[in-house]
Structure 1
């Protein structure tokens, strides 16, 4: 048993230092996500709904596919493009407006060009700050772990268009 203790300590130290444990680099990225449902050029499209969705106060059962622009600043037309948010969100809250987000932030410019960050989690959209998990990545962010915080910057109740400020805290 005494010999097993040093071996366990050695394995624990190796796991803590390995890239699989998140590596040693931490990156913080602030960007803006533009969810455009309105015409003439939507970047978010509703693709499925349950029968109950039509009478639900929360949109429960609605599935939306996204290919949303990501920019450096909040203005879609004048901010530097960084990439796209590609994935889905599903209205998963029956009694509260809460989305299940499943998306990849695909970087197509700047320092992280060619890399992705995978984000998944619950998004109670009317909370001031929502936190979701960073569950992986590619390129610079291979083996990434961390979290994303979302804050609504603007929301048009009539069109459904929204600009959301994201802060990504990534260990890789």
Structure 2
């Protein structure tokens, strides 16, 4: 009898936790959320003296599946490659 009671108690606790999580998520969705739009530009240079993408290993098949490329592209704040760099990708 005690084992049955423990199982019921655990089930009730699990249901209460689930209800608390669902109710808290519904309150959170009612609030206004700020929207942030970030626009950035990634520049991939395959030729020249400052190459940013290098082939590490080529695929052994014609599909290209398995090709590995190392990339260190500049991420800028405008489409111009000479604009301020805000990161690397």
Alignment TM-score, normalising by the size of structure 2: 0.62
- For structure 1, the residue ranges without an aligned partner over 5 or more in a row are 18-23, 86-172
2:67 aligned residue? 62
Q: Residue 160 of structure 1 corresponds to which residue in structure 2?
A: none
Equivalent-residue separation in structure 1 for 2:23 and 2:58 (angstroms):
49
Residue aligning to 2:40: 31
**Higher helix fraction: Structure 1 or Structure 2?**
2
Q: Pick from 2, 7, 11: which aligns with 2:17?
A: 7
Cα shift at 1:59: 3.3
Question: For residue 75 of structure 1, what is the aligned residue in structure 2?
Answer: 80
In the superposition, the TM-score normalised over structure 1's length comes to 0.35
Q: How many correspondences in the alignment?
A: 73
Give the RMSD, CA atoms, in angstroms: 2.8
1:118-157 matches, cutoff 5 A: none
| Rg larger for | 2
Distance 2:34 2:23 in 1: 17
Kindly provide the CA deviation profile for residues 34-88 of structure 1, in whole angstroms up to 9, marking residues without a partner as x.
Answer: 1111121101111011222xxx2x53332111110000111102x2211100xxx
Q: Deviations over 1:94-120 (max 9, x none)?
A: xxxxxxxxxxxxxxxxxxxxxxxxxxx
Give me the whole-angstrom Cα distance separating, in 2, the residues matched to 1:65 and 1:12.
44
Q: Which has the higher strand share?
A: 1
SS in 2 for 1:27: coil
Displaced runs of 4 or more, over 6 A: none
Please state if 1:51 is matched with 2:57. Answer: no
Consecutive unaligned residues in structure 2, runs of 5 or more: 1-7, 27-32
